[in-house]
Structure formats: structure tokens, C-alpha cells
């Protein structure tokens, strides 16, 4: 009898929560039902960092494909909506230092972007963030004789950062944050 009562109480609680609009993060969709195809043209790069816009664009496309049901295309003329991005700045700041050599061992990378999503049929802006900030840290080699190590570590760090950036961006767009 107690198990049956606990089940009923749990069921009533679950129904009440469902009615209050609770949902699992990453599973809702705030975009209009008329959107089936999204264009993600290459982001604009206003920094001096080579190919950062390509990394962020590719990661965003992969994230849309992995996490949503939308068809993703590069050309806005073949889409219901378009996501446009501008990489406004990319900064790498020393975060941690080696106490012996006083050289940086960890860098903090900050990417500042402007991102917009527009419904092409209605010309309505579905998402806009002029100050989309993303930060990530990466370690660098303390081997001062081998500068090559720094660049070998920077590329995987930028790739990881691009994936995490895209995860946050796609969630923000689809969940309307």
C-alpha cells in the first residue's frame, strides 16, 4: 500500500513539474516551427588570428548537426534562417606562472563575438547577442628552447575552445537565452 501511495505522489509531482514548464536543458527549441534549414555562412574575422572564424564556423555547424534536427547549409539563399557571426576580438592573457622562471604556464583565451540569427521569411531577428563572450584556458610549455611546443599546444586548445564555444552558442540560440 505504501509503495502505491509513493508512486501516486511521485506521479502527481512529475505532472505538476511538467505543467510548470520545466524541461531538460538542451532539449527545448524556442525557434519557430517554420524553420527547417539553417544557413551558417563563414563567420567574419575582425581579428589578426588566422582562421579563427573558420574554426568557430565549422564547430557551430557540427554542433547544430549533432544537437538539432535542422538541415545546415552554407548558403542563405537555400535556408529558412541564417546564423551570422563576427569574431570581434581574440585575446590570450597569462593566467598562471612558473614560480621558478616567472614564465606563463597557463593562458586564458577570450573570444568576443557578435552573433545574430534571422528568420529569412519574416526578416525577424530570432537571436542576437552583440557581446557573446567565451573563455577557455590552456597550458603552454615551459620549455623556452622549444617554441614549437607552444604552437603545437595552441592548436588543440583552439579546437577544444571552438567546440565548447559552439555548444554554448547553439544552446543559446535554440533555447533562446
The string of DSSP letters for 69-110 reads S-EEES-GGG-SEEEEEEEEEEEEEEEEE-TTT--EEEEEEE
- Is 1 contained in some domain? no
**pLDDT exceeds 80 at position 174:** yes
- Give the number of domains in the chain: 1
- Is 59 contained in some domain? yes
Mean pLDDT of 122-131: 95
SS3 labels along 146-160? CHHHHHHHHHHHHHH
Share of the chain above pLDDT 90, in %: 49
What pLDDT is attached to residue 108? 83
**pLDDT exceeds 50 at position 23:** no
What CATH number does the domain containing 142 carry? Answer: 3.30.160.150
Amino acid at each position: 500500500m505504501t509503495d502505491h501511495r509513493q508512486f501516486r505522489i511521485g506521479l502527481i509531482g512529475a505532472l505538476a513539474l511538467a505543467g510548470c514548464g520545466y524541461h531538460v536543458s538542451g532539449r527545448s527549441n524556442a525557434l519557430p516551427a517554420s524553420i527547417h534549414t539553417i544557413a551558417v555562412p563563414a563567420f567574419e574575422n575582425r581579428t589578426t588570428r588566422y582562421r579563427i572564424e573558420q574554426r568557430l564556423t565549422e564547430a557551430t555547424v557540427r554542433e547544430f548537426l549533432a544537437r538539432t534536427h535542422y538541415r545546415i547549409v552554407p548558403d542563405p539563399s537555400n535556408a529558412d534562417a541564417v546564423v551570422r557571426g563576427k569574431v570581434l576580438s581574440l585575446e590570450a592573457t597569462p593566467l598562471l606562472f612558473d614560480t621558478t622562471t616567472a614564465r606563463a604556464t597557463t593562458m586564458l583565451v577570450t573570444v568576443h563575438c557578435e552573433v545574430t540569427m534571422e528568420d529569412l521569411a519574416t526578416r525577424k531577428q530570432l537571436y542576437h547577442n552583440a557581446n557573446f563572450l567565451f573563455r577557455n584556458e590552456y597550458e603552454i610549455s615551459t620549455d623556452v628552447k622549444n617554441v614549437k611546443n607552444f604552437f603545437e599546444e595552441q592548436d588543440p586548445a583552439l579546437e577544444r575552445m571552438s567546440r565548447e564555444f559552439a555548444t554554448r552558442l547553439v544552446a543559446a540560440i535554440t533555447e533562446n537565452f
